[in-house]
A and B are shown apart, each in its own frame.
Chain A
């Protein structure tokens, strides 16, 4: 038994990719499969450096399709396996993720968003929301945490492994290139000292005993003979997803009780939104802040309560309305005006939001 990677807890000053590698090690992840694509590369770099010390394994595959399918294989064999990707790699990753959806495989994928479409930029965006929440040829049966800080990258990577293995839906940590490359202080810790119990991994194939003699063989398929067979299978999956959604959905909000304008954002843009809303409130303005932490499933009840009380909602995102579409679907029937602040592939700072809210209040 190798020593615990993090003894107790300690302050650290790390890049986001480094944080993810530390969190994966702390989560008792055992094997990573990956393919290089900017801006997530350093996750593999740090993982491979730590690997011999903590008895971890790594395979650099031929592409993201293979990285995803080998991750599926790792999970099937009973190890906490994960991968990380971005942009066009995320596009390729959707094929293995769809197999994981159909077979309910607890795979964890870290996405550090870059500009799109195509190869676009290697730097930053929030344009992988559609792909990450609803990619593949299925119904989006996956769980997506959108992180805003390095502390959250650490906390939610640990949580992603637990969510995946507890509920058996593919689970994502959705970061971005800014979070990946930026360095900031955080506390890294052994989950045990925080009272976080890690959900143990279990085998799908290769369980003890002779199949057909001591136990039935595990036989997993993703093709069905008839429409009704698929319909029945999916019906069970939808019911499971709906049942667990309230336990998984998370949000963060303040000042929304009597707000005229609610500013909503996710991920790193939520930091700018939070800072702008604090400034606006210090000036005595009735502005609130609402941030879904899970983009899939969304915190629908809280979202509807907050949006229905506000006069206007400002939606800020570094995409051209991908987040906005999710919100509008969840807020269907609520007549509160939703005002866009979209900067696809470009960062949004607190001044942008502050100025936009001031314009809205003046109109």
Chain B
């Protein structure tokens, strides 16, 4: 009898094995998230929202309340839940298409409003569920179904720098990091800090996770890991990008005299 690695306690055992492809990075991100939920002991307070795309397969992944939303719309659903019940810990889970393309306006505005939610975005450099098309995160020259001769940066732009953008538009109190499934320990730590940041009411928390898609990349084990570790990191810096500074006062600074715009 072989010894199986233990699953996080917050995982829903009866829905395992999970539905992601072999070699997919989603399982690793969701394992890190499960461990973070366990360590923080917040299973009864978490509301998990998954997007459409491969992330939709996580709709019954955890023993936590879960809402499967629409493509790109997880951030507003999490925002609505959090605004209605601030005691809940709202964790949105999405892909790069959901966060940076179809739902980019929601990511930008949730970030600028410093919504007290946590967004976890899985970057695997293409659209997985729909069969491997170009995403905002596709690397220059990378072949996808809609860039069969390689991504041409002149006509389709450079890889989206999501966390850098979020860091630039959030006020103090936000937490922004980029993790990688190739480094599971920091992956879990960043996700945990992002949730803790929401719990302490500081501000928007965002973790992009560099991830794998051997199915659409058409890569074997070694090539898959090499792609994440060596190719993606040429464009994507892994690490914490913005952390709340405890010395800085939190919240929006306003002048003492609040402008009323003529409404008073």
> Chain A: residues with CB nearer than 8 A to chain B?
30-31, 33, 57, 59, 61-63, 65-66, 69-79, 81, 95-96, 99, 103, 203-207, 209-214, 217-223
Contact = CB atoms under 8 A, between A and B. Distances in A.
A78 B81 CA distance: 9
Main secondary structure on B side of the interface with A: mixed
B85 A219 contact: no
Given A211-B43, A212-B12, A223-B56, A217 B109 contact: no
Contacts of A75: 80, 84
Given A62-B109, A205-B81, 16 more contacts: A33-B80, A63-B105, A69-B73, A70-B77, A73-B77, A77-B85, A95-B73, A99-B69, A205-B67, A205-B88, A210-B44, A212-B63, A217-B66, A222-B68, A222-B69, A223-B68
Contacts, number: 140
Contacts of A223: 52, 56, 59, 68
A252 B244 CA distance: 61
B152 interface: no
A63 B79 CA distance: 14
Nearest to B70: A99
Contacts of B12: 212, 217
A219 B66 contact: yes
A44 B201 CA distance: 27
Contacts of B18: none
A71 B82 CA distance: 11
Interface in B77-117: 77-85, 87-88, 105-106, 108-109
A275 B59 CA distance: 55
A204 B52 CA distance: 20
3 residue pairs, one from A and one from B, having the closest CB atoms = A73-B80, A212-B63, A70-B80
B65 interface: yes
B21 to A, nearest CB: 16
Contacts of B80: 33, 59, 69-77, 81
A85 B120 CA distance: 31
A74 B83 contact: yes
B62 interface: yes
A66 B109 contact: yes
A206 B87 CA distance: 9
B88 A206 contact: yes
Given A95-B73, A209-B44, A73 B88 contact: no
Interface residues of B, number: 36
B64 interface: yes
Contact of B59 (A66, A72, A209, A221): A221
Interface string B217-253: 0000000000000000000000000000000000000
A217 B62 contact: yes
Contacts of A63: 105
15 contacts: A57-B84, A69-B70, A70-B77, A70-B79, A70-B80, A75-B80, A76-B80, A77-B82, A77-B84, A95-B73, A203-B85, A204-B65, A205-B81, A210-B63, A213-B63
B186 interface: no
B228 to A, nearest CB: 27
B66 A69 contact: no
B83 A66 contact: no
Contacts of B59: 219-221, 223
A273 B77 CA distance: 42
Contacts of A219: 59-60, 65-66
